[in-house]
Structure 1
């Protein structure tokens, strides 16, 4: 199909070249031979009147025009993919569909895992793909490559549709043999202890807790940074360290774990988790079905203590 003189099939090749910056990788992804992809690139260059990509050493770099059209090509392709998946009616009992969700391991454990039994019964051919929180994932979400994000309020773009799911609060956890922490914990002791904390992705993106501490200029003595909330309790066992975790995550700890929970002396605001979706999914019946399933699952949560 041609539109304004451009074969729209070339958009698939264009997006792959711009994203991967490699003719060989783009050829492999699009199931074309390298000569065929090179011919497609030649036709694209002729249509747009620009080289689009140039060879610099052994790598391809985008021209100024190539960089300018990259988001348009990505958006067009993603909207086309969403369009082809749309149905007037979505029957979860028979449809095959994969949904991608950016979320932390905390969300995977407390929201998604308990929902899998219901998902298996209602939609046996539906797949959920969880993607770790990272800058590259957020870029992919903005392009429309990813369906949903389950995130705190401070990460919301406010440009995309979203809904509130649930609230949670925080509690600190120490090894049961930690003699420096009694039944209660004051601020002085909390700040004197070394902490195990979280940081996400290569840019060490902080969690709700870290964002709050930074905003209030509260510096912790950090002994270890881990990429998952679920790692925190295990990391304090056998140490004088302390970690602060979500109360819902704490409720999942084994009763025989050598750990003690103690109230955090810092007045951390409640964490509000939100479901955000890409605008191209707003009217998609399958996406609407999954949104309702997630909202119903979150509604089971009692208000956080």
Structure 2
């Protein structure tokens, strides 16, 4: 089909080329042969009267004209998908669908895993691809390639709707037989003991609690640094170390590991976990249903008649 001389079938190829900036990768993205993608690129160049992709050194870069097309093309395709190709209703019992999610190890442990165990009984035809959060996942959300992005509310992606899943606070965790914590953990002991610290990703970004602990103007004695909260308890057992983590996660671990949970001896504000989706997917009943399942699993299920009030930007 042509629209003002443009073969609309080329829009998908154009979006892939503008995103990947590589003919081979774009071809793989949309399941075309490299020769077919090269042919599509040549036709697009003829239509726009522009190279769109030009070679610089060993890589291809977008021309100014291509850069100006990237967002409008992606927006047009997202509109088509959200208004035309998305099923208007969602029946969990019969649905066959693959969802893409991004969630931290914390969110995966306390809400995603138990929610999907429950979902398996209700909607056996669903499958899930779960990735770690971060800049790549945020870009995927903005490009409409990610169904649900779970994060703390302050790290939510701007201009896309979200629903609150649950609130949580922080606790101190120690080996249950740690002789130094049998009477509890006050502020003096907190800063005197060795700590297991959590830092994320290649940039070694500190966990959220670090920002508030630093406000005490007294450094912690960090003895071990690990890349995720789910690893931290293993480095407490048999030692006098402590760590700081979310209460829900700590209580989950305490059910199976020999650890004890104590209040934090100073104030750290509570955190709120939210689920986000692309604004064009606002009417996607499958996404809304899955988010509702997570809320119910987290123990903060709304009344069905109020479900629409949970979804905000």
Q: Secondary structure at the match of 1:251?
A: helix
> Contact 2:198/2:206 (CA < 8 Å) preserved in 1?
yes
Distance in 2, Cα, partners of 1:193 & 1:5: 71
| Post-superposition offset of 1:215 | 6.3
Determine whether 1:169 maps to 2:169: yes
Name the residue aligned to 1:245. Answer: 245
| Post-superposition offset of 1:219 | 4.2
Kindly provide the CA deviation profile for residues 71-113 of structure 1, in whole angstroms up to 9, marking residues without a partner as x.
3333333343344542232111111112222211221121122
> Contact 1:133/1:201 (CA < 8 Å) preserved in 2?
no
Unaligned runs of 5+ residues in structure 2 are: 302-313
Kindly provide the CA deviation profile for residues 12-35 of structure 1, in whole angstroms up to 9, marking residues without a partner as x.
222222222221222233232322
Kindly provide the CA deviation profile for residues 35-82 of structure 1, in whole angstroms up to 9, marking residues without a partner as x.
221121122122223222211222212223323322333333334334
Q: How many residues align?
A: 301
* TM-score (norm. length: structure 1): 0.87
Name the residue aligned to 1:51. Answer: 51
Name the residue aligned to 1:17. Answer: 17
Kindly provide the CA deviation profile for residues 148-193 of structure 1, in whole angstroms up to 9, marking residues without a partner as x.
1222121123522222221111111123454554422232332343
Determine whether 1:209 maps to 2:241: no
> Contact 1:134/1:200 (CA < 8 Å) preserved in 2?
no
Mapping of residues 8-157 of structure 1, within 5 Å = 8-157=8-157
Mapping of residues 255-266 of structure 1, within 5 Å = 255=255, 257-266=257-266
| Post-superposition offset of 1:216 | 6.4
Q: Secondary structure at the match of 2:146?
A: coil
* TM-score (norm. length: structure 2): 0.85
> Contact 2:138/2:157 (CA < 8 Å) preserved in 1?
no
Mapping of residues 181-200 of structure 1, within 5 Å = 181-200=181-200
Name the residue aligned to 2:308. Answer: none
Deviates more, 1:242-251 or 1:154-163: 154-163
> Contact 1:79/1:280 (CA < 8 Å) preserved in 2?
yes
Alpha-carbon RMSD: 2.5
Deviates more, 1:72-81 or 1:134-143: 72-81
> Contact 1:173/1:259 (CA < 8 Å) preserved in 2?
yes
> Contact 2:166/2:274 (CA < 8 Å) preserved in 1?
yes
Distance in 2, Cα, partners of 1:180 & 1:162: 43
Unaligned runs of 5+ residues in structure 1 are: none
